[in-house]
A and B are shown apart, each in its own frame.
Chain A
């Protein structure tokens, strides 16, 4: 865009800068509050009202309680399991689907595409979905978390769009050299679509990491709970009994708030630290997918 250093432009820049700063502050302040609160002395914390902009006293007792609690550790282990297995399965299926549906010579290509895309706009509802999973005997098993949500139509479309951009000449010359589909996928398609695949992996990973509802409706066994369900108990249902069972009865009230903040930090910090590194991938991935979404 052309830029001329006029006074009206400078005023606009000033306003823009102010708005940007405001947005950044708003994005950050809840996170800052939570982090500092998690390090604060529990007595001062319970007595305090309002925003916390620096730690009130200092203690690591909250984290001590959280890390020594088996429920949270089990939740973490479960979530990591679901994310790893889920991402591998989902990415595999999405690449497969994206590859097949990007082959222009396929007769039923558009029909299948419509068949799949239609599910984005209409579904049978919550209860029939629940009944299907139940009738497949997946309820209260790990399968219920990984399989019913294995493929996202949105991600499939992104994958397909980016694979359609690979020049057909590459595929044809490989075919002439005698390559089958498997070799084409592994040696040509995957290396060329690396950034889209990274985007898909990221979207699936974040989706599985953050999901809680399916776990809530399908799982009864506490040993299978992902982290988010434990978090929901502690943060939303205000049931800190699982975490505070090592604190004697007289002190539980005091530690209640502190433990909540520490749990939030423990559950979220890994994601927040990890995502800036993959930020460039999803930005470019969305750009690729957005040309014809």
Chain B
């Protein structure tokens, strides 16, 4: 890349660069400028003094966080919630797509798809409202659970049940829509491979094992890496809507903590520090997952 080429390219593509300027500007302002706000994590930030006037306290915010009573609990909750969501929530759409792929009547397939996509389009506030209602002491889910010998009080007030409710409803809402990308991948598997396998005497199960799953393995791996990149963020909007001080012991995650400390208690410096820790963890896990994937398969995100 030498200077003459750059000049030539700019001359030829001036219009294009101007066209993309607003887009680049958007990312600079709303993604990269906030990154520079990370400085607040190292300061005793006070709104009156601003970013450049607040006292520099180095890593004190981080030390305070790691020494605090709830640090371990937050990390544990964040990790467990994400981990269970991964174990149960990640395979569900894949299995659903595989099963749907076996439906031979096109009309039936279409109907199942339409119905299963529906919950995805319901907004999270409404979903939270439905969950709160169904898990209340007179709610639909509570009465079913009580019949099987479970508790009959407000289910969202029981810390042990929070993860189950959270992940169960995640699956309910997402299994249909998230299966779309796997359906797309399944459509891309070469039909001839199936024919060849059938010729060799492979039944349905063996065909699925040796043709279908390897055929969509690339998609699965990419989706998994993307998912791991958000491992520590969890779906914090949903957490905030469903948790309460009673369930903080299992429900409070790092992102909800950042929200409370920062925007509700105005402890900007501390909250930014914790948020930075969260983002850094996410990024580190993403890089790790990508590297492992590169070594094991040939697929990777970058």
Contact = CB atoms under 8 A, between A and B. Distances in A.
B215 to A, nearest CB: 11
B155 interface: no
Contacts of A9: 204
Interface stretch (A56-64, A105-113, A247-255): A105-113
A127 B130 contact: no
Interface string A106-147: 111000100110011111111111111000100000000001
Interface residues of B, number: 100
A268 interface: yes
B30 to A, nearest CB: 5
Nearest to B6: A107
A49 B143 contact: yes
Interface string A46-82: 0011111000000000000000000000000000000
Interface string A249-293: 000000001001100100110011001100100110011001001
Given A20-B103, A28-B115, A264-B129, A290 B262 contact: no
Nearest to B199: A2
A206 interface: yes
Interface stretch (B63-71, B74-82, B158-166, B269-277): B269-277
Contacts of A235: 125-126, 128-129, 132-133
Nearest to A94: B23
Interface in B16-64: 16-17, 19-20, 22-24, 26-27, 29-38, 40
B interface secondary structure, majority: helix
B125 A228 contact: yes
Given A3-B104, A286-B180, A103 B16 contact: yes
A125 B16 contact: no
A236 B117 contact: no
A123 B31 contact: yes
B123 A260 contact: no
B13 A127 contact: no
Nearest to B100: A20
A148 B27 CA distance: 9
A93 B33 CA distance: 20
Contacts of A151: 23, 26-27
A213 B278 contact: no
Interface string B186-215: 010001001100100001100100000000
B86 interface: no
B123 A128 contact: no
A34 interface: yes
B116 interface: yes
B144 interface: yes
A229 B108 CA distance: 37
A31 interface: yes
A2 B132 contact: no
27 contacts: A6-B203, A13-B102, A27-B176, A28-B115, A50-B139, A50-B143, A93-B26, A100-B16, A100-B20, A103-B16, A107-B9, A115-B24, A116-B24, A116-B27, A124-B33, A124-B276, A126-B275, A128-B40, A132-B30, A132-B37, A181-B19, A210-B123, A213-B240, A234-B129, A236-B128, A260-B133, A275-B121
